[in-house]
Amino acid sequence: MLRDMFKKTPRWAASSAQELVPSPEIPTGMWRKCNKCSAPIYTDDVINNQYICPKCGGYFRVHARRRVEITADENSFEEWDDSLCGKNPLNFPGYEEKLSRMHAKTNLEEAVITGKARIDGYETVLGIMDARFLMGSMGQAVGEKITRAFERATKEKLPVILFCCSGGARMQEGIVSLMQMAKTSAAIKKHSEAGLLYVTVLTDPTTGGVTASFAMLGDVILAEPGALIGFAGPRVIEQTIGQKLPDGFQRAEFLQEHGFVDKVVPRKEMRSTLAAILALHAGTAPHKGSETEEAKEREAILELAEEEIRMQGRREAYSDLSSAKKAKNLSPWERVQISRKSSRPTGLDYIEGLFVDFIEFHGDRFYKDDKAIVGGIAWFGGRPVTVIAQQKGRSTKDNIFRNFGMPSPDGYRKALRLMKQAEKFGRPIICFVDTPGAFCGMEAEERGQGEAIARNLLEMSALKVPVLSIVIGEGGSGGALAMAVGNEVWMLENSIYSILSPEGFASILWKDSKRANEAAKVMRITAAELKELGIIDRIISEAEEAGKETLPDICDEMRKQILKFMKRYTAMSGEELAEQRYMRFRNM
């Protein structure tokens, strides 16, 4: 089938280093030269390798129907609106003839195909753009097909996955093409308000009016490696500013680094990634079933434990008493030093130890992907959850990469974006807090550090899903509180939570940072002291200091307690959750 498609294609397209279209007069299987690495390659090898050069790994564009074949379950695609084709609203000379040539060349009526399909058994609406048809430009018919797809998806309560590949608006249709940007966006808004998932996959190229409308409106935005993504094309930018653009500018990796793409996914992993995202949003465990069985086992263990506690008349006996006693054995300053140890497990360690199939999402959709905050979705106890962690490094190099666990405004905005996404899909939120404080630098102030923290406090207070925050190391000032407005806040036994560091406290009040030891005593920053003050709700015991060897035991205890938290709070309505959280802080 694919070779037949190739034979209808008139020639090699030389416009892009990422496009492979063999000539019809030369049999398939002949040697070709990759127009990216210049290595000789067999066309058949490229086809069998999902349009990826077997020599350099460079990506070629994929025909729409071939994309269906490598993405959807076999024979599951049901095409919609297949007879809908472009018109000539401006009576543009020669446009109708050009559309006819495109139809003959591609065997497509328009630059997008839409329909319903299954991916690993999960039903979804699927839209795929094809660059062969007038560079995938968006005219009235493209906008109409996409809008109809969203409207039908909303009616049938289905998610939408849209593979974007476009040069932007279609010039021959002028202002009519421009209006499709608003039309498709409005349909997406209705779909979103129905609580439904929308995933975009940005492929090479995704530019212009498509980027400035439906391509960048996904709940989750994925991209293929190296894909060109931007509003204005690089040639236009260079001509406008009179400068040569740097390597990698407007490529998928650039977009992820700057906060606009959740994840760059290799083509061979795209299908499995989409299936995992669909599974998490469907709320049904992956087909492998391991997490479901594990969740049932955990629930059974939990119920037995609760019954035993009820019979003994001491439901909370094992939660905090031993920790309260142990708290007397170490000074507050010793706890501070332990909380800062580089050997202490980080947020990612707890994510790996507690959750199944974690998918990290990147970026704040405004400016940057802050590496000091890690967030995404995963399975816990048989249900999908959103997990967000403040992340320190272990080595000096890693700490520099993670900015020593000090989030920027972009990090807090990323965290809030994921929290609002969790609220939309009804997922509980689990936050791991571990920061000496929010980053205090010139660029942080320029981008609104205070506003970002304040916005998190405001929005978290009213989230209509359960929120659990666990301080696993340092809980420094407003930088920690911005992820700790939870229905419950827990602390590991050797963690701290404070208005600022003891050194800073001593420096401000006594003008002598060397009195940090003394400050730690009067600040009441240890878990036991904060439990007594009613600031936190639970202490997770550390029989030994948290580290690589003790992490499994800590995770086991934490897992039991989180299951109890879930059981209690998922039974509450959204309004009850928000009110409980409000009163928790109102009474402090």
Would you state the pLDDT for residue 11? 31
Beta bridge partners of 166: 206
Phi, psi values for residue 154, rounded to 5°: -65, -45
Q: What does each C-alpha distance from 529 to 328, 331, 507 come to in angstroms?
A: 10, 12, 23
Rounded Cα–Cα distance for residues 298 and 452 (Å) = 38
Range of weakest confidence among 36-45, 236-245, 504-513: 36-45
Sorted by sequence, the CB contacts under 8 Å of residue 49 that are 6+ apart come out as none
- Strand, coil or helix: what is 434? strand
Confidence band of 285 (pLDDT split at 50, 70, 90): low
Range of weakest confidence among 136-145, 343-352, 543-552: 543-552
Would you state the pLDDT for residue 580? 98
Q: Residue 158's closest CA among 114, 120, 117, 196?
A: 196
pLDDT, tens only, 141-198: 999 999 999 999 999 999 999 999 999 999 999 999 999 999 999 999 999 999 999 9
The DSSP H or E segment spanning 203 is strand 198-207
Would you state the pLDDT for residue 303? 55
Torsion region of 151: left, alpha or beta (phi above 0 gives left; psi -120 to 50 gives alpha):
alpha
Tokens found for residue 533: 């003050």
Q: Residue 352's closest CA among 72, 552, 131?
A: 552
Sorted by sequence, the CB contacts under 8 Å of residue 431 that are 6+ apart come out as 387, 388, 389, 415, 467, 468, 469, 470, 483, 484, 486
Confidence band of 12 (pLDDT split at 50, 70, 90): very low
Specify the higher pLDDT residue, 238 or 323.
238
Q: What does the buried/exposed string (b/e) look like for 475-505 if buried means 16 or more CB atoms within 10 Å of the residue's CB? A: bbbbbbbbbbbbbbbbbbbbbbbbebbbbbb
pLDDT, tens only, 466-493: 999 999 999 999 999 999 999 999 999 9
Whether the Cβ atoms of residue 388 and residue 432 lie closer than 8 Å to each other? yes
N-to-C CA span, the chain: 69
Whether the predicted pLDDT of 85 surpasses 80: yes
Range of weakest confidence among 32-41, 291-300, 453-462: 291-300
Residue-level length of the chain: 588
Would you state the pLDDT for residue 296? 53
Whether the predicted pLDDT of 291 surpasses 50: no
The residue with tokens 């272990």 is: 394
DSSP string, 561-578: HHHHHHHHHTTS-HHHHH
pLDDT, tens only, 114-151: 999 999 999 999 999 999 999 999 999 999 999 999 99
pTM of the predicted model as reported, rounded to 2 decimal places: 0.88
Q: Residue 371's closest CA among 344, 420, 406?
A: 406
pLDDT, tens only, 63-75: 999 999 999 999 9
Whether the Cβ atoms of residue 518 and residue 524 lie closer than 8 Å to each other? no
